[in-house]
Chain A
Amino acid sequence: MEALGPILKMEGIGKSYFGNRVLRNVNLSLGKGQILGLVGENGAGKSTLMNILFGMNVIHETGGYEGKILINNREIRFDSPFDALEAGVGMVHQEFSLIPGFTAAENIVLNRESTIYNILVESFGERMKTLNKAEMRQRAKSAIEKLNIELKDDTLVTEMPVGHKQFTEIAREIDKEHTQILVLDEPTAVLTESEADILLDSMKRLSGLGIAIIFISHRLQEIMEICDKIIVLRDGEVVEETIPAETSIKDIASHMVGRNIDSAFKRETEMIDNSFSDIILSVRDLWVDMPGETVRRASLDIHKGEIFGIGGLAGQGKLGIANGIMGMFPAGGKVIFENSPVTLNDPRSPLGMGLAAVFEDRRGVGLLLEEPISWNIIFTALQMQNKFLKPYLGGLVKVRDAKAITECTRYYIDALEIKCIGEDQEVKELSGGNQQKVCLAKAFATRPKLLFVAEPTRGIDVGAKRVVLETLKNYNKKYETTIVMISSELEELRSICDRIAIVNEGKIAGILPATSESTEFGMLMLGKVDNGSEGEKTS
């Protein structure tokens, strides 16, 4: 079918956000009826690429993109998703965009309803036409039929299981008369295995009807099963373009995570073996009910003085572990710190025992945006350890000690190279990297014995990244603070951690020394454990 010329061709696509390059020279072509598997780690640029194709607002609000997109050999440049729809590009997003109180049929034909003329149209225009319910249902039925699935057109969306919602979304794209290209962004992530199988079958049928499909998934098995072509993205570049027959899951996994070792995060220090030192934190059967990051029965031991990494794909629960232990979300299980149990669901307990955390949600939890830097840094130490208080009237009242606060703040501004005009500047005026440094300083000011750091480099530039990682490493060495770093960037973890645990589906899939092959980490992330001991599946 390639002979007809590709239906979609992207040439030299590049994109940067605020000077931060996320895509570089991406080329791909897609023929009629082909299924293209697009894989890559979080942040590899998959979503950005699809946003460009779909003409999403976020792209031209941030300065457009480089390169050309050709559909049927004609160059196009979409200004909005409506243009993309017009040109026959359909997209099913990760989040459902359905109207809950409407039936499947109503959702499928939404805003393209079949209508009948009535007299009011004469005076009030097209919008007063009556809905032709029977035809709408007919259209919905035929779209559902094309998918070859069990879905009643009169079911309310609220009453549907997740899988059916997904099908409704896809049926909506199919109902559009001239849909040529369909983008499915992780459609199987929310489905059970049997539902996923049905979906894959439907996809094959659709490709048989001549619709080209771009399929984004973290489940490599599925990619291998149905795709005609596989493209692996890493750091915004196409690192591999192949066909399933010539590759294996293991190959793809290593392409996804394997970075050039001489890149930004080269490991400089020798790995220190702390396995003989005492266990400082022991977690048993921890569950955490954190939305989007559920942890189910995670167990791990952390040794005193080590830098311990927790990695894994987004949504698998790696962030939930720190949040649960620190009492930010409902949690259960057993957490022992220095031989005494930590009371869960009460932030005071871990803080009082000498744990501290830098949370991933910097602006939401980590900072007081409208308060000066000094407050941000000293607050936890003041509240939990009664530092920075000066007694008056023989200890009757204790008032904030402005001098000590200023001194401490200045110290951290120097030590962490926080760029600001002074310790009284409001934190919201700082850049992301400097805000992150303030978060670190806040944790350091309490002199923790164990420090959780979640996604410390998210959304900050490379220079600041290095300072943050260096700071953590030095702090670990200088004060022998145990550090647990949680990050989606495996290379970052490998550059400073001693051991790395990979979280998958809310459990610890495995713990490996940081010097292990990146392929091994890749396999753990994707839930493929060779020894087969983790055979049980949760749905």
Chain B
Amino acid sequence: MKRILQFIERVGWPRVIIAIFLLSLFIAAPFVRVRIDASISDTLVRFGMNGVMVLAMVPMIQAGCGLNFGLPLGIIAGLVGAVTSIEMGITGLAGILAAMVIAVPIATLLGLGYGILLNKVKGGEMMIATYVGFSSVAFMCIMWLMLPYKSPNMVWGYAGAGLRTTISVEGYWDRAISNVASFNFGEFFYCPTGMFLFFAFMCFLIWIFMHTKTGTAMTTVGSNPEYARSAGVDVDRMRIISVILSTVLGAIGIIVYQQSFGFIQLYMGPFYMAFPAVAAILIGGASVHKATILNVVIGTFLFQGILTMTPSVINSLIETDMSEVIRIIVSNGMILYALTRVVKVRS
């Protein structure tokens, strides 16, 4: 009993409770005629889709810039990369590579500006970040109409100009990463191996980065900026680097998401994208100033698992479609919980 309690203490009550809840959903699924193999497959796919975007939280948290509510900024860079790649008509992995090559410099530039802005509002980063995300989405709503994209796959049919709200990547790079070494097991189970490998690779890169001199300095800046300054670290520069890194990861993350999802969602699509990522990392056990790769992996799995399973099981149970409502309650409830926990730590 004591050892169990110790284990729970170490993992953290919230994670244990959520894991038990998720497990009970899997157990309940067959009884309400939800296929378990399809459910697991869905969970895995969603895990892979969202992983990199959750990873995008880590650098900023570590550098003390708070949660990256400005993730839509990175997502926009990713979207520009994606539509440009389609415009150029490149297919397969090369198309994704092209999208990323275009997206990363844009994300770097946007991240630089975003970082400089956040340095001016130390202490209130998260509020400002939220509005950076919102306003950039609104700005891009104009740009998607104005930018001179021509590909008939993407523009409004009747006007011949302006990008559509949803663009299919089919025929270009639909599941190009996911399908690398993927396999099916029966009719309903699909394992996107490539996506996992890619996610693992990104995690590894961040892990390495966090162990370099710059990464160490970044963590220290988040831990105690005064200490870092006294040891000769340029605090503002570290913060900017962290914001750039987070934004770039956001851009890469959305491309991974789209290739698996099959569609590019423009206009208001990125508007609420930051919240599931924030919720996931907090559920994973990160706080506002400390996050590890393990937090990302655990958090993404638990959060996406709940998000996949709750609606389908409960819908079948009560026989009405309220999946979206449940999704909103669950994800926002998690954010609320996690943010209140932070206040407690501070006081």
Contact = CB atoms under 8 A, between A and B. Distances in A.
Interface of A: 326, 328, 347-348, 351-352, 357, 359, 361, 364-371, 375, 379-380, 382-384, 386, 389, 397-400
18 contacts: A328-B230, A347-B230, A347-B232, A357-B230, A364-B224, A364-B226, A365-B224, A365-B226, A365-B227, A365-B230, A368-B227, A371-B219, A371-B220, A379-B216, A379-B227, A383-B217, A383-B233, A399-B208
A9 to B, nearest CB: 42
Contact of A400 (B211, B220, B231): B211
B212 A379 contact: no
Binding site secondary structure of chain B = helix
A373 to B, nearest CB: 14
Interface of B: 208, 211-213, 216-217, 219-220, 223-224, 226-227, 229-234, 290
A370 B211 CA distance: 17
Contact of A380 (B226, B231, B290): B231
Contacts of B219: 371
Given A368-B227, A369-B224, A397 B212 contact: yes
Given A351-B231, A361-B226, A383-B231, 4 more contacts: A352-B232, A382-B216, A383-B216, A399-B212
B224 A347 contact: no
A441 to B, nearest CB: 13
Contacts of A370: 223, 290
Nearest to A364: B226
Contact of A348 (B208, B226, B232): B232
Nearest to A380: B231
Contacts of A375: 216, 220
B230 A368 contact: no
A364 B223 CA distance: 11
A400 B212 contact: yes
B213 to A, nearest CB: 6
Contact of B213 (A348, A365, A367, A383): A383
Nearest to B226: A365
Contacts of B232: 347-348, 351-352, 380, 383-384
Contacts of B224: 364-365, 367-369
Contacts of B216: 375, 379, 382-383, 400
Contacts of A380: 231-232
Top 5 A-B pairs ranked by shortest CB distance? A380-B231, A348-B232, A351-B232, A365-B226, A399-B211
Contact of A398 (B213, B223, B226, B234): B213
A351 B227 CA distance: 13
Nearest to A359: B230
Contacts of A384: 231-232
A359 B226 CA distance: 11
Nearest to A379: B231
A65 to B, nearest CB: 30
Contacts of A365: 224, 226-227, 230
Contacts of A366: 227, 230
B310 to A, nearest CB: 34
A400 B219 CA distance: 13
Given A379-B216, A383-B213, A400-B216, A371 B231 contact: no
A366 B220 CA distance: 12
A369 B220 CA distance: 11
Given A367-B224, A368-B220, A368-B223, A347 B231 contact: yes
Contacts of B229: 328, 347
A184 to B, nearest CB: 35
B212 A398 contact: yes
Contacts of A361: 226
A514 to B, nearest CB: 28
Given A389-B213, A399-B211, A367 B227 contact: yes
A319 to B, nearest CB: 14
A277 to B, nearest CB: 28
A228 B226 CA distance: 48
B49 to A, nearest CB: 29
A369 B223 CA distance: 8
A361 B216 CA distance: 22
B208 A397 contact: yes
Contacts of A352: 232
Contacts of B213: 382-383, 386, 389, 398
Contacts of B233: 383
A243 B217 CA distance: 59
B271 to A, nearest CB: 34
A371 B224 CA distance: 10
A366 B224 CA distance: 9
B302 to A, nearest CB: 24
A361 B230 CA distance: 11
Nearest to B225: A365
A347 to B, nearest CB: 5
Max count, chain A CB within 10 A of own CB: residue among B208, B224, B227, B230: B230
By CB atoms of chain B within 10 A, which of A352, A366, A368, A369 has the most?
Answer: A368
A94 to B, nearest CB: 25
Nearest to B227: A368
B198 to A, nearest CB: 20
Contacts of A368: 220, 223-224, 227
A86 to B, nearest CB: 32
A521 B211 CA distance: 50
A389 B231 CA distance: 17
Nearest to B209: A397
Contacts of A399: 208, 211-212
A328 B224 CA distance: 14
Contacts of B223: 368-371
Contacts of B290: 370
Contacts of A367: 224, 227
A48 B231 CA distance: 36
B217 A326 contact: no
B71 to A, nearest CB: 25
Contacts of A357: 230
A399 B234 CA distance: 20
Contacts of B234: 348
Contacts of A397: 208, 212
Contacts of A326: 230
A111 to B, nearest CB: 28
A475 B231 CA distance: 21
A389 B227 CA distance: 20
Nearest to B205: A397
Nearest to B229: A347
A467 to B, nearest CB: 23
A270 to B, nearest CB: 34
Nearest to A376: B227
A365 B211 CA distance: 23
A380 B224 CA distance: 13
A363 to B, nearest CB: 9
B26 to A, nearest CB: 36
Contacts of A364: 224, 226
Contacts of B208: 397, 399
B221 to A, nearest CB: 10
